[in-house]
Amino acid sequence: MAVGLILRAFSLTLSQTGDPRFRRVLFLGVGLTFALLVAVFAAFLLLLNWLIGPEATLPLIGEVTWINDLATLTTFFVLMIMSVFLMVPVASAITSMFLDDVAQAVEDKHYPTLPPVGRQPVGEAIRDTVNFLGVLIGANVVALILYVLLPPFALFIFWGLNGFLLGREYYTLAAMRRVGREEAKRLRKRHALTIWAAGVLMAMPLSIPLVNLVIPILGAATFTHIYHGLDGRRG
């Protein structure tokens, strides 16, 4: 497992955050991610208001208005926790949308001698995103059973499972730009342990609210470096 390669890839990614083109994509990704989470929060508030209304009536007390405020505050904290799980499919979707832009910015700066590549067709990108989201959501629904049965290990199971899935997806997307789908799958199997480790390191900050907003774009750049560090000479 190439620990040094993973750390170097992340270091190079951080060093490029000041690049105007890279920063633009980073801000777009963070903004869209935040907007998606706010939309979920708003939907929960609307549902809550519909269920209990602006006021509630309690036996012997009568009408009270603070229950809605308390429920809203509780919902906020619940959603902060839920954002840990929401960020996993969001990270996948955001990466699929912006990977070409991020990877191109990385390659222009660090690998300028590489030949140009075409962008993935929109229809194919959407299909890949939907397919992977299905796998990701299905795997995490099944993992809920393990979270309940083994609560002390729930966070480690979350990191391990999603690190495997996200690392697999990120590396495949980065490699496909250069060598195509079938070769990307072959290389992914060849470097499975390194890719899994890098995915776990990405899944860990995804479990930290607010910090997780910047991880999808940084992850896309990091896996571009990892691909080139492992097999870029083939691209």
The answer to whether residue 10 is domain-embedded is yes
Contact yes or no for 16/22 (Cβ under 8 A): yes
The answer to whether residue 60 is domain-embedded is no
Whole-structure pTM value: 0.78
Q: 210 Cβ partners below 8 Å, 6+ apart?
A: none
CB-count burial class (<10 Å; 0-12, 13-18, 19+) for 88: buried
The answer to whether residue 165 is domain-embedded is yes
Residue with token string 């609210």: 209
- For residue 80, give both structure tokens: 């902060």
Tens-level pLDDT at each residue, the chain (235 residues)? 688 899 999 999 999 988 888 888 888 877 877 777 777 677 766 766 666 555 544 444 444 454 455 455 555 566 666 666 666 777 777 777 788 888 999 999 999 998 888 777 777 777 877 777 788 888 888 888 888 899 899 889 989 998 998 899 889 989 998 998 899 999 999 999 999 999 999 889 887 777 777 888 888 899 999 999 987 554 4
Owning domain of residue 210: 3-32+83-234
The answer to whether residue 47 is domain-embedded is no
- For residue 235, give both structure tokens: 């691209």
3 state SS of 55: coil
The answer to whether residue 189 is domain-embedded is yes
The answer to whether residue 61 is domain-embedded is no
What's the CA gap between 9 and 92, in Å, rounded?
19
The answer to whether residue 212 is domain-embedded is yes
Contact yes or no for 37/31 (Cβ under 8 A): no
Single out the residue of 234, 221, 198, 216 nearest to residue 88, CA to CA: 216
The answer to whether residue 119 is domain-embedded is yes
For the chain, how many structural domains are there in total?
1
How confident is the model at residue 74, as a pLDDT? 59
